[in-house]
Amino acid sequence: MISAKVLLQLLGGTKSSRALRRWVNLWPPLLGMGIRIQRIAPDMKAVDVEMKLRWWNANYVGTQFGGSLFAMTDPFYMLMLMANLGCDYIVWDKAATIRYKKPGRGTVRAEFRLSASQIDDIREKLKTLPKYEPVFSVEVKDQAGVVVAEVEKLLHVRKTQAPDSPGK
């Protein structure tokens, strides 16, 4: 099993958003659906993703396949939190919901944003709680800016456990 820390290093590390973008764009699950990261902010607090409608990601009526719409929103909040919280925290995707609003008929985009206050809030809550499960929302929009789908991501965050000291 590959740890989250190792995965981030394999995908370019947290120090280079450019390298991370390059490697995630080549990651077979996303590459195969035509999902492309257009931009990752150097501080990993903003990620912009797009997916063009192609024959291999269309459903039986010729619009964006729902699974591809969902996949384009899947890993990003987890990766963003991992990069911003650091190795003292464990971050997992726990649950997600998607609400389809309108058929996606062309290129669709999603913008992921993480604020400093959200990160501070997580750190603050974990000073007194054993775990915290924040919810993040993202909209998938078409070329005209019309919402095609709304996605809510529930993440599980906790501090890593310090190893027992030898004298205990």
Q: Would 167 be classed as within a structural domain?
A: no
- Asked if the structure places residue 12 within a domain, the reply is yes
Tell me if 92 is assigned to some domain. Answer: yes
- Tokens 């000291």 belong to residue: 165
CB-based burial label for 91 (10 Å; 0-12, 13-18, 19+):
buried
* 165 belongs to a structural domain: no
What range defines the domain where residue 90 resides? 4-159
Q: What is the pLDDT along the chain (168 residues), one digit of tens a residue?
A: 344 454 555 454 545 677 777 788 777 788 888 899 999 998 999 999 999 999 999 999 999 999 999 999 998 999 999 999 999 999 999 999 999 999 999 999 999 999 999 999 999 999 999 999 999 999 999 999 999 999 999 999 999 975 553 444
CATH of the domain at 101: 3.10.129.10
- Is residue 9 a part of any domain in this protein? yes
Phi, psi dihedral angles at 96 (to 5 degrees): -155, 155
Number of domains the chain is built from: 1
Given this model, what pLDDT does residue 1 score? Answer: 37
- Is 137:77 a contact under the CB 8 Å cutoff? no
